[in-house]
């Protein structure tokens, strides 16, 4: 039985992903920003799937201290086969996290960057393991300005979201280069234009959340991608990413700055 952590899985794509994985017989760790939301999703998913192997954890990703506590609390796991970094926000108003970072950048990039690094030891010990990062086709409109990652000079909510999704992509590819692919793979994806609260910040419509879960589940479980790493997937197929993702210097610099901002040792 595979053990899989899905962040941001109390609603939307994350919850649909957790439900699909539970139906596949996986042990699923459901994450929400507080205990009430996480426990409610846990009960709903157990009832919906008949799979009792669903655990609830919580951490507000606007607090790096809570991200650290989450990682520490998972240290008792005998294994972690897959980490799916799905949690994200979209907002039209600039705000700051508990740590003083622009919220979209802090929650969508720094939190999963920190969590992933803190769980790498467990993932390696669980080899072969997989890291699946839910990015977006919006990464193609992103621009990483290392001199103003917090967008303090000019903030636009859609731009901030696109930038964070490009950061997800750059992080994934740099991570893949740093990992032994025989132990842990890392890939990123566009889930589609899906009918979620996040989409409706800027748009309307969208496909059902179940459609958004298909590619994360594919990357988490399918044997045909077991040895694939550092790649971008759309509709369960490997696809070309933005040319910006190929900028190794930018990826390395973003990694360096992210390490400093999250307090990780290099």
With 0-12 / 13-18 / 19 or more C-beta atoms within 10 angstroms meaning exposed / middle / buried, residue 188 is buried
Strand order in the sheet with 184-190: 54-58, 27-32, 3-6, 82-85, 129-134, 184-190, 232-234, 237-239
* H or E element in which residue 3 lies: strand 3-6
Residue 13 sits at φ, ψ, to 5 deg, of -60, -40
* Whether 232 is catalytic: no
Cβ(113)–Cβ(61) below 8 Å:
no
**Among residues 161, 171, 188, 233, which one is catalytic?**
161
Instruction: Report the phi/psi class of residue 50: left, alpha or beta, with left for phi > 0 and alpha for psi in -120 to 50.
Output: left
Q: How many CA within 13 A on the CB side of residue 147?
A: 2
Burial of 112 (0-12, 13-18, 19+ CB in 10 A): buried
Q: How far apart are CA 11 and CA 99, in angstroms?
A: 25
Task: List Cβ neighbours of 153 (8 Å cut-off, separation of 6 or more).
Answer: none
Alpha carbon 2 to chain centroid, angstroms: 18
> First CA to last CA across the chain, in angstroms?
34
Q: Which residues are known to be catalytic?
A: 161
């Amino acid at each position: 039985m595979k053990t899989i952590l899905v962040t941001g899985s109390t609603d939307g794509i994350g919850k649909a992903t957790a439900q699909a994985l539970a139906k596949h017989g996986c042990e699923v760790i459901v994450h929400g920003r507080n205990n009430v939301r996480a426990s409610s999703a846990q009960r709903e998913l157990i009832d919906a799937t008949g799979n009792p192997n669903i655990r609830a954890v919580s951490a507000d990703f606007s607090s790096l201290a809570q991200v650290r506590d989450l990682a520490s609390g998972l240290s008792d796991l005998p294994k972690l086969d897959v980490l799916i970094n799905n949690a994200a926000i979209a907002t039209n108003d600039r705000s700051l996290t508990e740590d003083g970072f622009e919220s979209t950048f802090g929650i969508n990039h720094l939190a999963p960057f920190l969590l992933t690094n803190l769980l790498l030891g467990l993932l390696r010990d669980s080899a072969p393991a997989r890291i699946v990062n839910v990015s977006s086709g919006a990464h193609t409109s992103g621009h990483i300005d290392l001199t103003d990652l917090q967008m303090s000079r000019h903030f636009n909510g859609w731009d901030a979201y696109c930038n964070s999704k490009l950061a997800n992509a750059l992080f994934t590819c740099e991570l893949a280069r740093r990992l032994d692919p025989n132990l842990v793979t890392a890939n990123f994806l566009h889930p589609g234009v899906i009918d979620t609260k996040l989409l409706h910040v800027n748009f309307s419509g969208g496909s059902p959340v179940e459609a958004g879960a298909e590619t994360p589940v594919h990357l988490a479980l399918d044997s045909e991608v077991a040895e694939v790493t550092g790649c971008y997937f759309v509709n369960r197929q490997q696809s070309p990413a933005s040319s910006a993702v190929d900028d190794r210097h930018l990826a390395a610099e973003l990694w360096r700055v992210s390490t400093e901002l999250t307090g990780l040792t290099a």
